[in-house]
Amino acid sequence: MSIATAFQTIGPYWHLIEDPAMADLTRFGAEGEVITLIGTLTENGGVPLPGSCVEIWQSSPPASEVFPGYGRANTDEQGNFRLVTLKPGPVPGRGNTQQAPHIAINILGRGIVTRLYTRAYFEGEPLNATDPLLAMLDDPARRATLIAKAAGPNTWRLDICTQGDNETVFIDI
């Protein structure tokens, strides 16, 4: 038995491996309900976090030769990020449960030692009412930090705050 290697921050210079094309998960020709996920990343006090990495993974629709299921985007000077992907469907949960459609998100950047893991759900999805993870959040304000809101045609907005009053719910992964 061995022990997993320790995390170290991705730092400010991860752009050496950034490829802006990776922000579009449909670039290999995937077809389906194409959506744009936008948001603003902030730290305590609502200060934008530029130059950070917002990376996503979704197990639905299943990854294929034309759909990687994974993408990442830089945050610009105002902390804004933008990813294009396919709208996920319901995802099996543990036991006989079903999870509402969601996208897994890691926040990486300078000053973030490991990764901050969270999820984006979608406002108005009927399954949100019975989603096992959302059900753990009694406080509507806390719960709202995980729910992307419609922000135009096929566009969803989820702002993410690493610390403070509007702190996003981060998940122990």
Partner 1 sequence: MNEINGFRPPVPGSQPSNDSPAYLTTRQRHPLRPLLAFPHTVTETTGPQFSPAHFPPMTDLSVVDGKAAQGERIIVRGRVTDEDDRPVAHTMIEVWQANAAGRYRHPQDTHDAPLDPHFRGDGRVFTDADGWYQYTSIKPGAYPWRNHNNAWRPNHIHYSLFGAGFATRLITQMYFPGDPLLAFDPIFHAVPDEAARNRLVSRFDLDVTQPERALGYRFDIVLRGRTATPMGI
Asked if 33 and 87 count as a contact pair (C-beta separation under 8 A), the reply is yes
Which run of H or E residues covers position 144?
Answer: helix 140-144
What is the chain's length?
A: 173
User: Residue 75: which of 171, 9, 159, 163 has the closest Cα?
Assistant: 159
Of 31-39, 52-60, 77-85, 121-129, which part binds partner 1 (CB under 8 A)? 52-60
C-alpha 66/C-alpha 118 separation (Å) is 25
Of 30-38, 74-82, 122-130, 162-170, which part binds partner 1 (CB under 8 A)? 162-170
Amino acid at the residue 172: D
User: Residue 72: which of 92, 94, 96, 56 has the closest Cα?
Assistant: 56
For residues 11 and 20, which CB has a smaller minimum distance to Fe ion in the complex?
11
The contact pattern for partner 1, residues 140-159, with x = CB under 8 A and - = no contact, is --------------------
- Rule CB under 8 A: which of 64-123 touch partner 1? 65, 68-70, 91-97, 99, 102, 104, 106, 108-117, 119
- Rule CB under 5 A: which of 2-31 touch Fe ion? 11
Q: How far is the CB of 10 from Fe ion (least distance, A)?
A: 9
Asked if 24 and 84 count as a contact pair (C-beta separation under 8 A), the reply is yes
Determine whether 168 is exposed, middle or buried from the number of CB atoms within 10 Å of its CB (0-12, 13-18, 19+).
Answer: buried
For residues 90 and 151, which CB has a smaller minimum distance to partner 1 in the complex?
90
For residues 32 and 111, which CB has a smaller minimum distance to partner 1 in the complex?
111
What residues make contact with partner 1 under the rule CB under 8 A? 1-17, 28, 43-45, 47, 49, 51, 57-59, 63, 65, 68-70, 91-97, 99, 102, 104, 106, 108-117, 119, 132-133, 136-137, 162-164, 167-173
What residues make contact with Fe ion under the rule CB under 5 A? 11
